[in-house]
A and B are shown apart, each in its own frame.
Chain A
Amino acid sequence: MLFNSVQYLIFLPTVVLLFWLSPRVVKLPLLLVASYIFYASWNPPFVLLIIGLTLFNFYWGKLLSRSTTNRKKVFLTGIIANILTLATFKYANFFLDTVASAVHLVSKQTPDFALNIVLPLGISFFVFEFIHYLFEVNKGGKPVDSFVHFALFAAFFPTQIAGPIKRYDDFMKQMTDTNPFKLEYFDEGLPLIVMGLAKKLLLADNLAILVQMGFSNPSAYGAPELWLFTYAFAFQIYFDFSAYTDIARGSAMLFGYHIPINFNLPYIAANMSDFWHRWHISLSTWLRDYLFIPMGGSRVSNWKVNRNILITFALGGLWHGASWSFVIWGLFHGLCLVVHREFVALKGRLPRLDVFWKSGYFHYLSMFMTFNAVCIGDVFFRLQDSKQAFAAVKKMLLFSPIYTADEAHHFFIAKETLPIIVPVTVTMVAVLFFSTLPLSKLIKDRAFDGVPQFIKGAFCAVLIIAMIVLIPTTSAPFVYFQF
């Protein structure tokens, strides 16, 4: 059941209505059952997987909290069990394909090891939540007493499939609190859902058409066109994923639950470190807390810090998908962070240039460079074929050729025979590109906070009407569903 489907438009109000009409003791079990129904709507047998993992982690957390002598062993066993589950479902085929490729290199024969394992939806998200739970219990956190609470923490349908990755202490506290019905929940939740749907259906889905056109055959386009498609993809993925988060947060809000934000104006980041404080915040903080810091974090020697960064981001890339292009994407981001670290150190050694470092010119130049660096990384994210991605990036960086060979001195994108959607989406990318900074600044300065609620309501109504007319006949699933 997708957030942008008619089924969800029926499912959500039904569950919200039942939730607020039910007596307090029934509320959480009802939400849990609804969450399992939500999950089962994709593939019923896989409900058993999420229930099985929940049971395991619930009891393992209790065991871990009681353990004293063999605590480390219990903790590691729990972590390994979770990682093995994720690896089996998500990486087994990738691993076997890599082995087959290696065999092919040596023996020139290609063995078929494929197991055709189906990747359960949202597994990367709920397994990360379980690992986080075991880490926190191991650090001395109190294990969850109620199975229903714990099961709902993992299965809560707004965040079940694509996050944000929740923290159990925050979420548990909200479940144990008595939440009387407040209309404010709807006043806060509804705009988030409408904005999310508008981002997904009006922006991301339309941009996807241009992106698909460009990245289905990148060799056919010149460098400026590839930059255009990459910008389009950067905006598509941002609107797609942040739309999911908005709908998830809005849906959770209708039940009175607060879910952490996942994006904070990422495209105005002034450097890569800043970018990761603004992009997929729940993942970046998870990687920091449960991967980077346990490896030593930044309290080790300089080269080890850089190594830790590269490992963290390579694994972060792999978390996104079982493909080498995701690993390259992760390594690229890791490398950018390392370069930024070294650059910060260099800046410190050049105090004479302080005026420039602190100037607005440098700030805007940094933002521009960071955005473009993110876009280059996005080529690897979008193109699953690493060779194709490297060729496209080479073209983009060298800015050559400007035109493609078969369309000498003409941009293919400017052809009059292309359907109307192409010039419309190209215009859309241009508008987004030039409006991101001023709009982000307004949001940052909280310029919209003082807008009266009834104006916000009217804006939501306008968006709903626009969506009714303009949404495509079919809407693609959210990009982050595949992870």
Chain B
Amino acid sequence: MAPNMTPTAKALTGTTFSCLACLIAFNLIINALFPAGLPKFQDTANLWGTQVAKLPPLMQAKNNSDVLIVGASGILFPSVRCDDAFYKRQTRYDDWYMKYKIWTYSKSDYFANLLGKRLGKDISIANSAVGGCMMSDQYLILKKYLASGKKPKMILLFSGPKDFLDNHRTKIEKTSTYVQLADLPVRIGDIVQGNTRCDTAIPELTEAVMQSISSFYFYRDDYRAMLAHETAKITHHPEDLKKATAMLGSDDKTPLTKQQKEEAKERADAKFAPAKDAKDLALFRKIYLPINNAQFEVQSKYFEKILALAKENNIPIQVTFMPLTPQHTGVLPPETWKRYKDTVRAIAANAHVPCWDPVQDLHFQPDDFEDSAHLDAAGGQKFFKYLTDRICDDPRICQTLTDQKVLIGQH
């Protein structure tokens, strides 16, 4: 170090500041390279079979899809059923299929094909719908999706009453989507803005800090596991003692995984026919009743935030009500059902966002549903054709999707 340096220059070029500067620079580079968070390796496997399993790969995906679907299982199920029919795949209605095929599905190729044919251009669709998602979860998914550097030409938001009212998910910060995606700033932001309950604000903040510390341990374990896995592949040594013992103790070097065993069991007694007896109505009664008005208010706020976020990013957004069976809507008190629809329409109108309601134009038969809340392949095809018509009827949307460089969507 030069002896004639000023004390400030000396301090700034010293080991302590250089070390801190390098750590901050490293953090900035990581954030710039991975805006949606560091890529996870082990985690995807751990989440396998959960409703949020699709989120890490969806966020890390590099391809920028033309259309982003945001919603819950209401839109996810018909996407899978229609795509299964489209690709002539045997669809299934068992739990294994739901856990490992539907929850992890992030496409809507049948719909993309319809749109592509009508527009005369290949259209790609990313399906970010997650089963059981509330509006707050959908907001977080959209926020993180956009933060990951991807920008769709259009967002399609599919809404159902369960997005606003769910007695099984009264704490927004406890949902699996939130646990998976929320980082410390998001959590603190929610506490500051009063989106999480005041009486739990301090414990929530503590938990958020603890989570950010535990995420250090998570990443550490994750990266160690990844390094061990890669080194094991090169050297042909087992990754850990457990696997070494398994190799020593068993002649069969490829035992069935838990997932494979589960699938084998499910295959044995799989029911290849939809259960349309609306047995799930009892479950929805528990989900909706008693009506949680406070939750409705908070989730309405998030609905508004989704529309605002799309506007901020200059992305046209369309809101669509998901069709439900009359038995399903009958579970809700009529005034709540009305309030739900009116609120969604009012917020959308306020944000100058179009709001489509297919049940006003189409007649859905009971056979179009696989249960009270999810369209089957037949219903899905009807629904997607309707959507395609609506989208293609609007020349401005068509121009956007076909890169005509005309700003649309802000009606």
Contacts and interface: CB of A to CB of B under 8 A. Distances in A.
B216 interface: yes
Contacts of A191: 15, 19
A322 B14 CA distance: 45
Contacts of A470: 224, 227
A187 B16 contact: yes
Give the interface SS of chain A, mostly helix, strand, loop or mixed. Answer: helix
Contact of A452 (B1, B20, B236, B238): B1
A276 interface: no
A354 interface: no
Contact of A456 (B15, B21, B238): B15
B22 to A, nearest CB: 3
Contact of B21 (A194, A419, A457): A457
Contact of B14 (A186, A458, A468): A186
A469 to B, nearest CB: 5
A184 B19 contact: no
A464 interface: yes
B242 to A, nearest CB: 9
Contacts of A473: 217, 221
A457 B15 contact: yes
A454 B228 CA distance: 32
A474 to B, nearest CB: 11
Nearest to A192: B15
Contact of B223 (A183, A424, A460, A469): A469
B216 A458 contact: no
Nearest to B242: A419
B231 A420 contact: yes
Contacts of B337: none
Interface string A178-213: 000001101110110010000000000000000000
B239 interface: yes
A187 B231 contact: no
A422 B20 CA distance: 35
Contact of B23 (A417, A423, A456, A464): A464
Contacts of B85: none
Contacts of A183: 10-11, 14, 16
A453 B26 contact: no
Nearest to A422: B237
Contact of A457 (B18, B26, B221, B232): B18
Give the interface SS of chain B, mostly helix, strand, loop or mixed. Answer: helix
Interface range for A: 20 to 34
Contacts of A420: 228, 231-232, 235, 237-240
A461 interface: yes
A465 interface: yes
B19 A461 contact: yes
B248 interface: yes
A471 interface: yes
Given A417-B248, A419-B238, A452-B1, A458 B223 contact: no
Interface in B219-234: 219-221, 223-224, 227-228, 231-232
A240 to B, nearest CB: 21
A418 B237 contact: yes
Interface in A327-382: none
A417 B238 contact: yes
A417 B19 contact: no
A278 B374 CA distance: 76
Contact of A468 (B17, B216, B236, B248): B216
A469 B223 CA distance: 6
Contact of B16 (A186, A416, A417, A418): A186
B196 to A, nearest CB: 27
A229 to B, nearest CB: 18
B15 A190 contact: yes
B61 interface: no
A471 B219 CA distance: 12
Contacts of B231: 420, 424
B239 A453 contact: no
A427 to B, nearest CB: 10
B247 interface: yes
B23 to A, nearest CB: 5
B141 to A, nearest CB: 28
Interface in A443-483: 452-458, 460-462, 464-465, 468-471, 473
Nearest to A465: B26
Contact of A416 (B11, B19, B237): B237
B244 interface: yes
Contacts of B18: 453-458, 460-461
Interface of A: 183-184, 186-188, 190-191, 194, 416-424, 452-458, 460-462, 464-465, 468-471, 473
11 contacts: A186-B14, A186-B15, A417-B248, A419-B243, A420-B232, A454-B18, A457-B15, A457-B17, A457-B22, A458-B18, A469-B223
Which 7 residue pairs of A and B lie closest in terms of their CB atoms, listed nearest first? Answer: A457-B18, A461-B22, A454-B18, A457-B19, A187-B14, A460-B19, A187-B15
